[in-house]
Amino acid sequence: SKNEETSTKEEEEEEKPSVSEHMSKAVGKWKLGRNENFSDFLSWVGYGWAVRRIALAASVEVNIEKISDNVFRKHVVSSFYTTDEKMEIDENWHQVDKLKKRHSIIQEENGAVVLKTDIQGKTHQWTERIQINSSGTEMRNTYIWKTSNGGTGTASQVFSSV
């Protein structure tokens, strides 16, 4: 009957976790454990050898705070690089500062929470994937960019929760 069909459709439509629920694993303090091919990313962005050495040796701490359901604050502190950004996760483009705008979506992949952000800088465009493992103890920031020969470059920073 028609009523049975309607109730079956409603049962199939599961409640998707909200941005806030997904991001709850990311909220907190994170400390850099290791870099993977990160020198390649820094080189592509335009940093010279000496600056890359300093950047790779620097300790990095990231603090992610919840401001509202789909707005978070990402504060990065390092002897090399410090930033304080508002992350709006709503599939729209947002101007971060004079040089950069971002577009973020969040989803679950194999039990891990993945925040995918496309970034358009003044001279470079790349994608950042922030992946939090299912236990919420590891955060992997992966940077993906198009190389000059048309290939794809990838680099990661792996953080542990503090």
Q: Residue-wise pLDDT tens for the chain (162 aa)? A: 555 555 444 444 456 677 777 788 889 999 999 999 999 999 999 999 999 999 999 999 999 999 998 899 999 999 888 889 888 888 788 877 776 788 888 888 877 778 888 888 777 888 989 899 888 899 999 999 998 888 999 999 999 999
Q: How far apart are CA 38 and CA 148, in angstroms?
A: 17
Distance CA 148, CA 114 (A): 27
Q: Which two tokens stand for residue 38?
A: 């990160």
Beta strands 125-132 and 93-95, pairing class = unpaired
SS3 at position 39: helix
pLDDT at res. 3? 53
Length of the chain, in residues = 162
Longest alpha-carbon distance in the chain = 73
pTM to 2 decimal places: 0.80
In a 3-state reduction of DSSP, which class is residue 29? strand
Distance between CA atoms of 125 and 118, rounded to whole angstroms?
A: 8
Q: Name residues whose C-beta falls within 8 Å of residue 52's C-beta, 6 or more positions apart in sequence.
A: 39, 42, 43
Task: Give the count of alpha carbons within 13 A of 78, CB side only.
Answer: 18
Q: Which residues partner with 68 through β-bridges?
A: 71
Distance (Å, rounded) from C-alpha 26 to C-alpha 113?
9
How many angstroms separate the first and last alpha carbons of the chain? 55
pLDDT value of position 161: 96
Give the pLDDT confidence score for residue 78 in this predicted structure: 93
Q: Do the Cβ atoms of 130 and 115 come closer than 8 Å?
A: yes
